[in-house]
Every structure is written in C-alpha cells, then in structure tokens.
Structure 1
Amino acid sequence: MIINSLTLENFRVFKGKHQIDLRADQGSPIILFGGLNGAGKTSILTAVKLALFGKAALKGSLTKSQYHYYLQDQINRGDNDLNSASVAIQFEYSKLGKQYRYLVERLWKVDNNKVKESLSIQENGKTLSELSLAQAQSFIFDLIPLGIADLFFFDGEKIQEMADDEDGHVLIEALKKLVGVDLVEKAAFDTGVVLRKNKKLSGSLEERKEIDKLEQELKEVEESIESRTADYGNNYLPYQAELEIKLKKAKQKLDESGGEWSKSRDDLISEQGGLNARKKELEAKITELFRGDIIFNVAPSFLEKLSSQLKKDLSVSKSIDFNDQLDQKMSSLKNVDPKLSKLVNKLKNKGLSNARHQVSSYQYKEFEDMTNNSAKSKEALKVFLKEYESLESSIDSLGLNISRAPDESKLKEIFTTINGIELEIEKANNRTKQIKREIKELLIEAIQLTHNLDKVYSKLQNEESSVRVDNVGNKVISAMESLSRELIQGKISELELEFNKVFQRLTRKKDMSHQVNIDRENYKIELLDKFGNIVNKKRISSGEKQIYAFSMIEALGKVSGRNLPFIVDTPLGRLDSNHRSRLVKNFFPKIGEQVIVLSTDTEVDSQFYEALMPFISKSYEIQYNETESSSSVEMGYFWSSHHEESEVEIPA
C-alpha cells in the first residue's frame, strides 16, 4: 500500500480544503512534516486513521452518541457557520497480483445537533455505490485490518508503551492483532453467546421467564450506563472544558489589566512604607553627623596643616611658660651666684618666635579628640550614604511596580467573574463526581445481574440435544483457543529473529544486550547480552529502551507480511542526540517504501534534517495562523531556504 494523497476539509485546525501530496520517490521513502506543538501534526495521523477506520480508530469502546460527539468536535471551530468536515485518502493497493487505486472519503454533517456520517469508496475511479456504511467499512477492514494498521500507524505514546512493557502485555496484544487472534477470540465469544441461548431454550418455562426477566433488567441497566456515560461525555465534560476556557480567558484579562501587580499591591505599599521610615532614620543620623565633628573632614589638607601648626604652637607655648617659670624663680632668689645665672640662661629655649595660636595642652587634647571623632564620623557617613542610595533605588523600584497596579476597585468586576467561574467549576466537579458514582453503582448492579444469570444457567437441566450442542460448541471454543496459541507460537521465533536483526542495526553500544528471548508461556521478554546472560531491563537507559521499542515495532511490521506505509508522530522527543542520530540514519530510511514522519523542530533539527535529506522525497511545514484560526501546509521545512505552496491538485 502506498498513500498518494490526503485531503482535509474543515478538519480540526485545517479550515477549508487542504490537499497534500504524499507520494514518495523510489530510494527516498521519507515524507517529513514539521510543525510546532498545536500546529496540526497529530491531525495528519488522526485523519488517516479516521478516514480508514472511523469509530474503530478511537481508543475505548464508544457509544454511537459518543462517537458522533467526537465527530462534531473535529469540525474546525474558526467559523461558527461550519457544520461539516471530511477526510479523504487516496492510495495504491496490490491485491492478488493486480494494482488497484482507491479513494476513501469519510464525510460528516451536523444538522439540528444530529450527526450524519457517510463513507464512500472509489475503486479505479468507479464508486462502489452499492455498499452501505457498514459494508463499506467492512470492505476497508478486509483490505487493511485495523490490528495490522496499529503496527504501522503510531505515535510517541505507543513507542513509550512498548518501551515500558515489562510483563509482555503490550507485546501479546500486538501479536494477537498481527496473527488475527483478536478475531478468533471474538468468534469464540460469539460461540459462547450461542451456547447460552441454547441453554435458555433447554430450560423450563419458569426458568426461561426468570432468564428473560434478568436479561431485561440487565439490558435496562446497560442502557442506563450508556445513557449516563453519554451524558457525562456530551454534557458534563464539555461544560467543564468550557468553564476552564472561560477561567483561562478571565485570568488572561486580569493579567493584561495588571492583575498580578494588583494582587501584591498592598504588600508593595507596606514594604515601601517600611523603607521610607528607614530612609527618614538615616536622614536624621546623617544630619546629626554634620552637626558634629565631621565638619573637620570637609578640608582634610587644611586640617593636616592646622594640626601641624597647633603642635608647633603648643611646643612654643610650653617653652615660653618654662622660661617664664625660670625667670620667676631666679627673681625670687637673693644674691644669686653668677655661675648659676649663666647656667639658667643656658637652660632657657633660645630663638623662640611668637606662637600663631595660644594653645594649651588641654585645648590641644580637645582638638585631637575632635579630629579622631571626625574620622569615625566620616566612616559612619560612608555606610549611611551607601544604605541610603540602596534604599532610594528600592523605593523607586517599588514605586514603579505600585504604579503598574491599577486600583483594586477597577479590577473588582474581573475578580468577581473569576470567583464566579471557580465556584461553577467546583459545582461542576461535584456533579461529575456524582455521575461517576451513579455509573459505578450501575456497573455493580450489572455485574450482580450477570452473576445471577450465570447461576440460573448453571442450574439448567439440559436435554440430550442441548448437551450435544454444548459439547460441539465447547469443542469449537477449545479449538479456537488452541488455534490462537498455535498462531502466536508460530510467530514468536520469527519475531525474535527479526528483532535481533533490527536491534543490532540500531543499537550504538557494541557490548549492549543485542538479542531478545520471548517466553512461550507468559510472553515476557528477556534481553540477552552477547554472552547469553539476561540483562535487567530496568537498568538500561531510557534511550536504549526507546531503541528497543523501535526495533520491536519494525520487527512486528516485517513479521506481519504486510507492506503498509509507516506513519510516526513525534517519535524522537524522549531520545538523546546519540540515540536520535541512530534512528535518523538507520531506522527511518530503511523501514519501508513510504515513511511519513511528523516532527517538531527540536526532534529533527537542522543537523538531523541534513542527515535525512538524501532520503526525503518531500518536506512540509505546518504553520498555524491565529488570525484565520487555521493551519496551512507549505513545502519546505523549518530551515529550508524556500517555501512553496504544497496544496496542489493530485493527479487522479
């Protein structure tokens, strides 16, 4: 199978009609899509699966109303007038040695809140108009079994599930789909239903009435479960989602109005008040310093000269006092010896000039104390001024933040709206919890009714013909179960062989475990090193687990015997650059004739894009336009030098 084109019309983020050429050249199997998160990469994979498989492409068992709600939700919301959408896929398919071209289109319309779905198939240009919706879907399942397609169309979540598969659960489910065991199991289940009906017919009138009563009650409970579940999915969940969107918009409006600043406005004002009070304290202390001895430090050179002069003046004053004291003593003496008089004259300080200042020792001591205090005050002033400057900066910054915050009264309406929405969300959550409890109670009731039915069936006394039918039916079920085991067992050895080949090609460690052994009974997977020793899977890195998952997925695809295109959505997000490089070089170029990769700019960056270039037939960039509320697909990639429109007509 080779996909030629994919057409989207009003589907999800793609408003209008978008036709994308997906044909790959020989030797260049890769079609690369690049897009930022939310641009619409995943929509490409979803569109392919939905076009082919419809309701069956979705996870879980959806009711018809749930599926219709899903379809309605897939219509582009950029224009409220849109009430329809479609996805179409054209592909080549080889069947019984002949080549066929198919065009499958799934269209749905909404009219009076009711969804009408149609599925059309063209084979070699001829519409298969005789097929109903159910028949058309069965026709596609015959071409491409859903279980097989799951091995070829996958995303990062599927890869992670396989990487984390410790007990073999994911692998066994994949194997069942691969060999068609899921269909065999369904046939066995249907046979069981036939046997139960046979037992009912063999019972007495009273027993049949009791069975009818229990089955009717069970049917009513199942309908209630379906109704409540649909109500939950169609009304409660959308209403909650709507409230969340309203809350997000209201908070965004609050932010745009300065709401975040408003929330802390009072705290900012209080903090600013504290800083202003400290600023006044500093101003008082600085003023007090200038009233004191710090004035002496205003002219330090003058102060130094003055100190030197006062020292000299003090020395002169002391000498003069000394001379005066000697003269007084000498004048008080009578009959002074001339020799003593000469000696006294020698002791006197000679050549003393007049002092500029009359300075006493006490006065000079006061001057020294003032000088020392002035130096200390100068250091204190430096500390105060530094803190004062910091305070002014902080006060200005707080003032700016306060000015950004509108008055709380202006935001009162927005806050009231937010509080109202949050209250509604709380009420909605309570209602959701209530409906979940109701569904749980209904499930418990259904389980009990089923148990009561089983008890009645087990009491039935079967007639000979009924016993014979039961025996045949049980043999059929036993044979089917045996067939399931044999089909799976037959594929395990083949899967091991293919896995080991792929894993050796992808792993980057020569001494890393390079073989796999699958237990035939419980399907647990063991990784073996080159010596045959079991490797604890929990101890290998997350990147190596991803390589293991990619290897298993490729091996499953090869063992399936089908030649389908691979479509991989965001496959490399969890890998480091080394493991990513391995996949870029050894996985995508080699896994098939057509490989569609949906990537972000960080997964396949410029370096890896260059490495993939020789294997790329086409590269597209998905761009979202907020004004148009729509994405478009352009030729090129994030780092391409040119972009040309890609939505061209595909040859029929």
Structure 2
Amino acid sequence: MIFKTLTLNNFRVFNGETSIDLTPRKEGVFERPIILFGGLNGAGKTSILTAIRLALLGKRALGAVITKKDYLAYLNEQTNNTALKSDESAQARVSLSFTHTHQGEHKLYEVTRQWQAEHDETLTLTINGVLDTSLNSEQVQAFLHELVPPGIGDLFFFDGEKIAELAEDDTGSYLKEAVQKLLGIDIINRLDSDLSIYLKGLGAEAADKETIKKINTAEAEKKAISEQVNIAQRNADHIGTQLTDLKTKIASKEQSIQARGGAWAKTKVQEEAKVSELIAFEKELTAKIRLELSGSLPMALAPTAMQSLIEQLTKDQKIKQAKAFGNELTQALPNLEAKLATQFSTQSNDIMATVNSYFGQLVAQSSMESPELDISDSEFALIQAQVTDAQKSQALLKELTQALEAVQNKLSTLSINIERAPDAEELKDLYESLRALEKQRDAISKEYISELLKAKELKTKELELAKRLEKFYAKLKNKHSSDKAVERVEQSQNVLHEFKEALTSQRVSQLEELFVKAYRKLARKEDLKLSAKIDPNSFDVNLVDAEGSVINRKSMSAGEKQIFAFAILEALGKLSGKVLPVVVDTPLGRLDSKHRDKLIKHYFPEASEQVILLSTDTEVDESFYQAIEHKVSHAFEIEFNQQASSSTIREGYFWAELAQEAV
C-alpha cells in the first residue's frame, strides 16, 4: 500500500480544502521514502496523522469500545471552527487515495468520509476512479479493516504518546494485545469460547426441568449483570475520557499562566517582603560604611606614606629622648665631679676625664640632630592608634562592601522577578478558571472511582454466577461425557489449546529475533551485545546483557525506553507481514542526540517504502535534515495563521529553504 493523496476539507485546523501529495518520488533508481512535514506545536501536524487514521480505521481509530454517539460527537469536534462560524451546517471531509494490490490486481483506491452536525457520516470508496456502489458504509469499513486491521494500524500510524505508552508499559499488556491480534489468537479464544457454549447447550438439552429452570435463571441474571458491567465500564471509560480532557485543559491553563508570568506571580508577595528586608539591610550596611569612611579609614588609603610618617616620628622621638638625656647629664656632671674628688682624691681627675670623654660624645652627637616633626608623645601615640584603627577599618570596610554588593545583587534579581510578575488582576481570571477546572476534575475523579468500584462489584457478582453455572454445566457434562459430540468438542478444544501454545511459542521466538535485530540497529554502541527474552504468557519483554542478566527496564532513561519502544514497533510490524506506510508524529521529543541520530539514520529511512514524518523544527533540525536529505522525497511546512485561526501547507522545510537560499 502506498498513500497517494490526502485531502482535508474543513478538518480541524484546516479551513476549506487542502490537498497534499504523499506519493514518494524517486531520484533515478534511488528510492526516497520519506515525506517530511514540519510545523511548530499547534500548527496541525497531528491533524495529518488523525486524518489518515480516521480515513482508514473509522471509529476504531478512537479505540476498541466506543459508542456511535461518542463517535459522532468526536467527528463534530473535528470540524473546523472558522467554517462552523460562517456556516453552522458546514460539512467536513477527509479523503485518502492509495494504491494496493488486492486479489492479484493493482488498483487505485480512494476512501472518503464526510460528515456534518446532527447527521451520520457518509463513507464511500472509489476504485480506479469509479464509485463502488455495491458496498454500503459498513461493508466499505469491513474492506478497509481487511487492508488495515485496527490492531495492526496502531503499529504503523502512531504518535509520540503511543511511543511513550509502549515505552512505559512494564506489564506487557500492550504487547500481549498486539501479538494476539497479529497471530489471530483472539479468534482462537473466541472459537474456544463458542465450543464451550455448544457443550453447555448439549448438556442443557437432556437436563431435567428443575435444572434447566435454575440454569436459565442464573443465565438471565448473569446476562443482566453482564450488561450492567458493560454499562458501568462504558460509563467509566466515558468519564475517564472526560477526566483526561480536563487534565489536558488544566495543563494548558497552567501553561497559559506560566506564559503570562504565573511562575513569578506565585512568589511575588514573598519576594516583595524579601525586598523590604533587603532594603533595610542595605541602609544599615550603607550607614556602617559611611561611619567607617568618616573615621580613621582615610589613613589606610596611603599605607606607604603612613608607614614613612610613623618611622620618622619614631626617629624624632629617639632624638628628643637623647637630647633630654644630654641635658640631664650636663646638669649632673658637676655633682659627680665633686663626689669623685672627695672619694678619689688622687684619681678623680682621670676618672672625670674618662666620664667626660664617654658621655661627651653622646651629648655632642644628640646635639647635632634635630627632630623633623616636633610633636608630643601623646600626639604620637594618638597617630599610632589611628593608623592601627585605619587598618582594621579597611578590613571591615571590605567585608561591608562585599555584603552590600551581595544584597544589591539579590535586590536586582528580585526586582527583575517582580517586574516579570503580572498584576494579580491580570491573572485573576486565569486562576479562577484553573480553580474551577481543578474542582471539576476532583468531582469527576470521585465519579470515575465510583463507577470503577461499581463495575468491580458487578464483575465479582458476574464471576460468582459464572462459577455457579460452571458447576451446573459440569454436572450435565459428566452425565453426557460418553456422547460423541462432547468427546469431539473436547478434543477440538485440546487441539486449539495446543495450537495456541505452539503458535505463540513460535511467533514469540520470531518476535525476539526481530526485536533484537531492530534494537541493535537503533541502540548505542555499548548496548549492541544485548539480547531479548519475551515471556510467552505475560508477553513482557526483558533485555538481557552479555552475561545473561536481566536488565531492569525501570532503570533505563526515557530516551532508552523510547528506542526500546521503536524496536518493538518495528519488530511487530515485520511480524505482521503487512506492507503499510509508516506515519509518525513528533517522535523525538524525549531522545538525546545520540539516540536521535540512530533513529534518524537507521529507522525512518528503512521503516517502510513510505514514511510520513511529522516533526517540529527542534526535532528534525538542520543537522538531522542534512543526515536524511538523500532519503527525503519532498517536504512540507505547516503554517498556522493566528488571525485566521487556520493552517496552510506549502512545499518546503525550515532548513531546506535556508539551504536553497545559501545556494
């Protein structure tokens, strides 16, 4: 199957008719399988994927269990709002043309879905340009399901959320469902169930009236409870959908608040209080700095000069002390001479001459020097104290200045944050609507839990009745165990069980090989020695290292889990034997550059004969575009017009245009 053209009319963000050429183009003999769509978030990339899934799968695109009412409501939601404003009865349409070889003939098919408010959808199929009037809508859908079974479609047409869901599925439930659909095990299970019903019927035919009455009563009661269980489950699913929508709206509202400065508004009051504290502290520090500047601090501004001053004053003090000593000595010498004459009459002159010679030199030396700065001792002590204080003041001033700078930086940051925060009135309506949504979410959550508990309680009753019926039928079966029909049915059931186990084992083994091959192709170099083991009962996939140890998937990064999911999807796709286009919407958001590189180079170019890739400019950026350019058939850019509230598509791509301009 190859998609040729997708036509959208008044569908989601596309107002009016938009036709998109999806046919892969060749360059000589070289295949170019990738059709690349680029667009910013909200431009309409998901609308392309949604349109393809809707065209082929119909209401099964929304899930296995969905009511006609919900499906019609969903279709009405897909109609472009601008078209509805101009015409309340505006029609919406999705058409997909594709080539496919059916029953040995290669034909061009075109499926068209069209709907409008308060009306059922119309589904038509043209073959080689001729409308097929032999098929009604249900038969057309049945034919499409033959081409693309719903369970298989999820393996080929998926988005980043499906990848994330599969990546985080530690239970194996998604894989189990997919494998059972691929292998037809669900059909085997249904056949087994039908045979069991047949057995019950055989026994009931020969049962006495009282037993039949009990069985019929229990069957009727079980049927009634089963219907109640289904209703409760549908209600829970419906409420769950509402809950999911509400959570999406709440997330969107929170993003709007964030975009309007809500993150800053939350802390605005606290930050304003901090600003007041910091301003007071700033004033205190400024006062202390001024106090230090008005004291002896200026002396510390000229440390060399002050050191020279102290040295000179110290020298002057010594000169003054020497002069004072000389004066006192001169006054004391006559008394000394008289005393020496009395005690040493014969030697007094010699002793006195020696004394005069020694002290005379000291007195003469001091008398020749004069102090340059003649200040008192108290003034000298005061200057020394001031110089010491100036040094301490300088160290303190440094600490105060650093503290002031830190305070001013904090004030600057807080001021910016406060400026970013809008006034409370600006966000009042947004916060009120957010609170209303959260209140609605809480109420619906209670209702959802209530429905789930109700369904669980009813299911328990249903199981009790099933067990009681099983006992009735077991007794009847024992009575007719020799019947040929019973024997053949039991043999058929045994064969079915054996066939189911053998088929599952064989296919699981094949799936392991396909998965390992795909994973090694996409994984980083250090992961190439990994293998895989799939449990045939739970279908949980375990990675096994070179030593045979199981790797805990919970310990894997988000990017590694996504590579894991892509490998599973590729393996399941190949196991299905279907050759379908692959459509992927925004698949690279959680991947690191290494994993992106592997995916870009080794998954998308080889995933199918036709790969439709829907990406933002940050996912397939300029470098990644260059890496796959040789495999890109053509590219489109989706542009959203804010004023018109609709999108348009033109051929080209962000980086492709830049490359052309450069040339």
CA separation in 2, counterparts of 1:21 and 1:198? 59
Q: 1:296 to 1:626 in 2, by over 3 A?
A: same
Q: Could you tell me how far 1:640 is from its partner in structure 2?
A: 0.9
Give the aligned residue type for 2:3: I
CA separation in 2, counterparts of 1:281 and 1:394? 16
1:203-352 matches, within 5 Å, as 203-234=207-238, 237-238=241-242, 241-242=245-246, 245=249, 249=253, 252=256, 256=260, 260-286=263-289, 288-289=291-292, 292-294=295-297, 296-297=299-300, 303=306, 307=310, 310-311=313-314, 313-329=316-332, 348-349=363-364, 352=368
1:139-218 matches, within 5 Å, as 139-146=143-150, 149=153, 152-154=156-158, 176-178=180-182, 180-197=184-201, 199-218=203-222
Give the secondary structure class of the aligned counterpart of 2:116: strand
CA separation in 2, counterparts of 1:480 and 1:196? 18
CA separation in 1, counterparts of 2:311 and 2:391? 17
* Structure 2 residue 389 is matched with structure 1 residue 370: no
Identity of aligned residues (%): 35
2:115 to 108, 132, 147: 108
Give the aligned residue type for 1:325: E
Q: Deviations over 1:579-609 (max 9, x none)?
A: 6656655554455443333444455443443
* Structure 2 residue 63 is matched with structure 1 residue 54: no
2:650 to 634, 646, 651: 634
Q: Deviations over 1:379-414 (max 9, x none)?
A: 333433443444345445545655666776997777
Q: Deviations over 1:192-221 (max 9, x none)?
A: 444445544544444444444334333433
Q: Could you tell me how far 1:161 is from its partner in structure 2?
A: 8.2
Partner of 1:650: none
* Structure 2 residue 90 is matched with structure 1 residue 90: no
Give the aligned residue type for 1:104: V
1:383 to 395, 399, 411: 399
Give the secondary structure class of the aligned counterpart of 1:348: helix
CA separation in 2, counterparts of 1:534 and 1:394? 55
Give the aligned residue type for 1:317: K
Give the secondary structure class of the aligned counterpart of 1:59: coil
CA separation in 1, counterparts of 2:506 and 2:316? 120
CA RMSD of aligned residues (A): 5.1
Q: Judge conservation of contact 1:513–1:535 (CA < 8 Å) in 2.
A: no
Give the aligned residue type for 2:325: F
Q: 1:418 to 1:147 in 2, by over 3 A?
A: closer
Which one is further off, 177-186 or 464-473? 464-473
Q: 1:631 to 1:368 in 2, by over 3 A?
A: same
Partner of 1:433: 449
Give the aligned residue type for 1:213: T
Q: 1:266 to 1:29 in 2, by over 3 A?
A: closer
CA separation in 2, counterparts of 1:389 and 1:527? 56
Q: Deviations over 1:426-447 (max 9, x none)?
A: 3333233223222222222332
CA separation in 1, counterparts of 2:623 and 2:369? 93
CA separation in 2, counterparts of 1:420 and 1:79? 30
Which one is further off, 481-490 or 22-31? 481-490
Which one is further off, 571-580 or 610-619? 571-580
Q: Could you tell me how far 1:353 is from its partner in structure 2?
A: 7.1
CA separation in 1, counterparts of 2:246 and 2:538? 46
Give the aligned residue type for 1:129: T
CA separation in 1, counterparts of 2:543 and 2:294? 87
CA separation in 1, counterparts of 2:542 and 2:252? 48
Structure 1 segments unaligned to the other structure (5+ residues)? 645-652
Give the secondary structure class of the aligned counterpart of 1:104: strand
Q: Judge conservation of contact 1:6–1:19 (CA < 8 Å) in 2.
A: yes
Which one is further off, 5-14 or 337-346? 337-346
Give the aligned residue type for 1:221: I
Partner of 2:136: 132
CA separation in 2, counterparts of 1:376 and 1:338? 59
Which one is further off, 127-136 or 197-206? 197-206
Give the aligned residue type for 1:348: V
* Structure 2 residue 9 is matched with structure 1 residue 9: yes
Give the secondary structure class of the aligned counterpart of 1:90: strand
Provide TM-score, normalisation by structure 2. 0.75
1:31 to 20, 35, 57: 35
Q: 1:88 to 1:472 in 2, by over 3 A?
A: farther
Partner of 2:610: 594
Partner of 2:345: none
Q: Could you tell me how far 1:546 is from its partner in structure 2?
A: 7.5
Q: 1:227 to 1:544 in 2, by over 3 A?
A: closer
Q: 1:390 to 1:485 in 2, by over 3 A?
A: closer
Q: Judge conservation of contact 1:251–1:418 (CA < 8 Å) in 2.
A: no
1:538 to 543, 551, 557: 551
Q: Judge conservation of contact 2:173–2:538 (CA < 8 Å) in 1.
A: no
Provide TM-score, normalisation by structure 1. 0.76
CA separation in 1, counterparts of 2:255 and 2:599? 43
Aligned residues: 637
CA separation in 1, counterparts of 2:425 and 2:531? 70
* Structure 2 residue 467 is matched with structure 1 residue 451: yes
CA separation in 1, counterparts of 2:644 and 2:302? 74
Q: Judge conservation of contact 1:202–1:461 (CA < 8 Å) in 2.
A: no
Q: Deviations over 1:49-97 (max 9, x none)?
A: 3222223344343344444444444444566646754322212222333
